[in-house]
Amino acid sequence: MKKLWLLLLAAGAMTFAPACSDDDDNGPSCPVKCTVPATAEIGSELTITGQGFDAAAEIALRDDSGVESKLENPQITATSYTGTVPLTLTPGSYTVVLYQEGIWELGSVQLTMAADKDCPVLSITVPETIRLNEELEIAGAGFTSDMQILLENTADQSRKELTVTLSGIGVTCTIPEGVSAGLYNVILKQGAYEWKIAESVPAGIYKRLKSVTVNVSIECETVTVEELAQYLYESSQDTGVTMDEATAQMYAEYYISNGAFDPMTNTAAYTFTYDAQGNPASSTKKGLYDEEVSDWLAFTVDGNQLSATNKDFEEGTDGIRSFVWTLDNGRIEASTISYEKRDVNYRWVYDAQGLWSGVNYASDNSAYLTLTYNAGKFLGNGSNTMFTYTDAPQQNAIFGVDMAKLFLGMQTINIIEADHLAAICLNLAGTSSTALPATVVEMDGSTPTITYTFDNDGYVTGVNWEVVNGKDPNFQHFDASNKTSYTLVYE
């Protein structure tokens, strides 16, 4: 018997701990008498009831491969040992091992997953968009080093694990190469458990607008002085401001001699620079009817306010001298505009989707500018529908400039003002409508088809449309053709 006991003891030291048993009175016996529950939930408490546990006792769970994981946060009393099953474990059968005056197998337990396990991280905040070429900051209380952050593509459910570093406010995540633009669920994973902490978050390569240029070329039909004089004379009769034939002849000669029907190309261009923190620093402009480029806006950042001085302001006019934007999470919420003789406060208004729906006077909340949409697609200002869309429109990159609003801002007068246009170019006016219009309504009522070119990251870098056999913008009686082209440069 003694020889047999020694052999068993040697084997147990190599492969397993002896079970609690008093079958052999000559050998050591388990110091506790206990009952192990049949099942326990991962991440929840496991309580083993019995007698004989001492303060230094430890209990571990051993899987089929022999790997042990100790119960966490042990609470030991005279009649029980309670510890938390580590979240890193997976469902299955485990041997319960006691470390107290030796190593003892107490029995087995079947680990299962809780159906509604609470997320261990509180107050989680995930950005509304993900910049694939920058670190992703997720705020929350309770992140630990054994947690994983995954991006799950909503299109095919494929996943990419991020490199996670604990930060003062939560975690900083580095996104690996190869993650494409799209919609992603953000998954927090710990052991066998996972929680969807954000759903369908748009992701893309982040770029800023460096410059935008539009060229509008017009070519009119050949018009004689006599034809134009006749048109001016007849149209004046309809307006009630009569013009005699001699006066009509004089105006016709003046218009034609000054090139009113000559082919022309007008160009508007805007450029933007940014500081080291990515805030707007300065810009230049050349309006459609300006002769040269001039300094435009000089920006200053102060907390949540972004101020701009209009360096192109002309004294004696009622243009914008300067303005101050109040921002919240990168979106303009209010503005104060300084005209030559007065300051006016405005509220910027957004719909439930975060789309910019207009600007109201702060004094009485009445509308100053109203922007309209249909299913997230920008139509125009007020009741003026300026754009149409296909059932499945082309899409701009999520961080690209809202193209329809840019068209409105660069080619209309007194609808989109200087501060509004700057906000559009800098992407500070809420969520961009990424749907690209298929047609635009021109001044003569024609609706040319718009074509787009894109860079490798999905940003619109070129736009073209053409009106053939349209009408002259100044003299609607006569035919004209025009071409409009945009060039956008991002950095």
What would the mean pLDDT of 204-232 be, rounded to a whole number?
90
Q: Quick check: 100 pLDDT over 50?
A: yes
Evaluate whether 162 touches 150 at the Cβ level (below 8 Å). Answer: yes
Q: Look-up: residue for tokens 């954000």?
A: 198
Q: Domain residues for 83?
A: 2-112
**Angle, alpha carbons 476-482-485 (nearest 5°):** 140
Mean pLDDT, to the nearest integer, of 452-467?
96
Same domain, 381 and 290: yes
Least confident of 18-27, 249-258, 290-299, 435-444: 18-27
Q: Examine the pLDDT at 222 and tell me if it is beyond 90.
A: no
> How far apart are alpha carbons 62 and 157 in whole angstroms?
33
Q: Is the dihedral of CA 365, 368, 372, 377 positive or negative?
A: negative
Q: What is the pLDDT of residue 105?
A: 96
Q: Tokens 């805030």 sit at which residue? A: 279
Lowest-confidence segment of 15-24, 96-105, 143-152 by average pLDDT: 15-24
β-bridge mates for residue 371, sequence order: 381
The helix/strand/coil state of 386 is: coil
Q: 425 and 401 in one domain?
A: yes
Question: Which distant-in-sequence residues (6+ apart) come within 8 Å of 145 by Cβ?
Answer: 166
Residues 350 and 266 in one domain: yes
Do 97 and 147 lie in one domain? The reply is no
Residue 14's pLDDT is 33
Given this model, what pLDDT does residue 414 score? 57
Residue 153 domain flag: yes
Average pLDDT over residues 424-433: 95
pLDDT band at 481 (very low <50, low <70, confident <90, very high): confident
Same domain, 92 and 131: no
Please tell me which residue, 54 or 191, carries the higher pLDDT value: 54
Specify whether 357 is located in the same domain as 404.
yes
Report CA torsion sign: 159, 162, 166, 167.
negative
Three-class secondary structure of residue 396 per DSSP: coil
CATH at 132: 2.60.40.3920
Residues 310 and 438 occupy one common structural domain: yes
Residue 248 lies in a domain: no
Q: Which residues are within 8 A (CB) of 447 and not within 5 positions of it... i.e. 6 or more apart?
A: 388, 439, 440, 441
| 273 occurs within a structural domain | yes
Residue 247 is assigned to a structural domain of this protein: no
Q: What is the mean pLDDT of the chain?
A: 89
Helix axes 418-425, 403-411, angle to 10 degrees: 150
The number of helix segments (H) and strand segments (E) in the chain equals 5, 34
Residue 13: per-residue pLDDT:
34
Overall size of the chain counted in residues: 491
Question: What single-letter amino acid sits at 142?
Answer: G
The residues near 486 (Cβ < 8 Å, ≥ 6 apart) are 212, 213, 214, 406, 407, 462, 463, 464
Residues 128 and 55 in one domain: no
Whole-prediction pTM:
0.78
Q: Which residue has the higher pLDDT, 372 or 316?
A: 372
